[in-house]
Amino acid sequence: MLHPHLLRKKFSQAFATNADEARIFFSPGRVCLIGEHVDYNGGMVLPAALSLGIYGVFRQTDSHVLRMKSCQQKNEVTLRLDEEISFSEKTGWGNYPAGVLKYLKQKGFQPRGGELLFDSNLPMGAGLSSSAAIEMLTALIFSSNNDNKRLGKLELARLCKTAENEFVGVRCGIMDQCAIAMGEKNHALLLDCSTLKHELVPAALGDNCIIIFNTGIKRELTKGFFNQRVSECEEALKSIRKHKPLKHLADADEQDVKELVANPIAKKRALHVVQENQRVKLAAEALKTGDINQFGLLLFQSHASLKRQYEVTGAELDTIEEAAQNHPACIGAKMSGAGFGGCAFALVKKDAAEDFVRYVLNFYFEKTHCEASYCYAEIDDGVRRIA
């Protein structure tokens, strides 16, 4: 956790102004424990908010101008909040908060200008949902800053999903935003993405810890592969609907997919979705009963499906997972996020964690000739004001 005093100091340096009246907010990243690529197919997912995330230091002014800076980015983003907000390639990272502000205005909010500094200990573009974190952070700051309107966290999650779908152009589901909005310390969020019914599941990891490995390979979801997977799933659902009136692909069963989907690529994608949907339910039960070994086995199975059927892992993530599975202290491991780079995480016995990290980093370097980084993370509370 970054200290508020340090954040205020950075704010003062960035904007050459006093930070005494600035408010500080925190938005966590998330790890999808299991359920990758099921959310936009209407199924069940099991994410959790992390102790790593993005901080926002905001000082309100009477101006309609919002100046945004990030400690991790070079360019300053300036928005006029009394004018129409539009997407621009030149805005870069600023399009994520800009999209949220556009849709807050459409909801009747009147966001006020000021200075906003973002700082982060969350790897950007690494599969821990930095995009949803900055969206939810912006939504909380500027909805809290309104005298007349209030939205609940689930409503804010919906708004942020709309902003990413329609403003940024990524056809994501709502898992990331919900996990960041409603996460609680030491709990996973069992979420039905078709109804948004949700349940907090105790995630008592006992003598185990979560270690996140960053491959160092960044990917941009708008480059095409993510939307391609969405289209492939839509093709599978269209084939099944010729015979069965299903609302979502996750409502199908394996027999439906094997018998009714002719396209071999679409069939593989759909098989991952329906099998992963079942794994999520089994994983939630394993956590509820404290069967951590069964939970870990399901993590390994999930990664194998993402590798062979959904084909979104890539050599780097597979190498991390292979190394983890080789080590006796590892309970389970898998990629996290959309794939093709980013992060994987492992559930590891605490007393062997240091040896495990050394082994994985060495294994990864020998196989890829690249260096991975790592960090320990805890399951923490969702987006909130901290000072």
Does 128 score more than 90 pLDDT? no
Does 47 score more than 90 pLDDT? yes
Distances (CA, A) of 114 to 154, 249, 384: 26, 44, 20
Tell me the mean pLDDT in the region 165-171: 89
pLDDT at 340: 82
> Using an 8 Å Cβ cutoff, are 298 and 332 in contact?
yes
d(CA 145, CA 117) in angstroms, rounded, equals: 16
Mean pLDDT check: name the lowest of 274-278, 326-330, 383-387.
Answer: 383-387
Tell me the mean pLDDT in the region 26-36: 95
Write out pLDDT tens, residues 193-241: 999 999 999 998 989 999 999 998 876 554 578 889 999 999 999 999 9
Does 139 score more than 50 pLDDT? yes
Residue 126: pLDDT band (50, 70, 90) is: low
> Using an 8 Å Cβ cutoff, are 182 and 154 in contact?
yes
pTM tops 0.85: yes
pLDDT at 383: 97
Tell me the mean pLDDT in the region 127-148: 86
Which entry of 119, 176, 318, 380 is annotated as an active-site residue?
176
Write out pLDDT tens, residues 75-112: 999 999 999 999 999 899 999 999 999 999 999 999 99
Instruction: Please indicate whether residue 176 is annotated as part of the active site.
Output: yes
Residue of 108, 96, 101, 103 whose CA lies nearest to 81: 101
Write out pLDDT tens, residues 342-376: 899 999 999 999 999 999 999 999 999 999 999 99
pLDDT at 125: 63
Does 148 score more than 70 pLDDT? no
pLDDT at 149: 67
Tell me the mean pLDDT in the region 35-51: 95
